[in-house]
Amino acid sequence: MLLDKLIELNQVALELGLLMLIPENGKKSPF
């Protein structure tokens, strides 16, 4: 469904945003 796609993209965006906020800890990412 389209809603599932949007939720998945939103989660990916959040993960990328967190990685960009703390690039120093990117290798120790909790994801």
19-25 average pLDDT score = 66
* Predicted confidence (pLDDT) per residue in 2-18, tens digit: 999 999 999 998 888 87
Q: Between 29 and 7, whose confidence is greater?
A: 7
Report the distance separating Cα 24 and Cα 4, nearest Å: 31
pLDDT for 12 equals: 92
Q: What is the pTM of this model?
A: 0.50
CA atoms within 13 A on the CB side of 13: 6
Residue 21 has pLDDT above 60, yes or no: yes
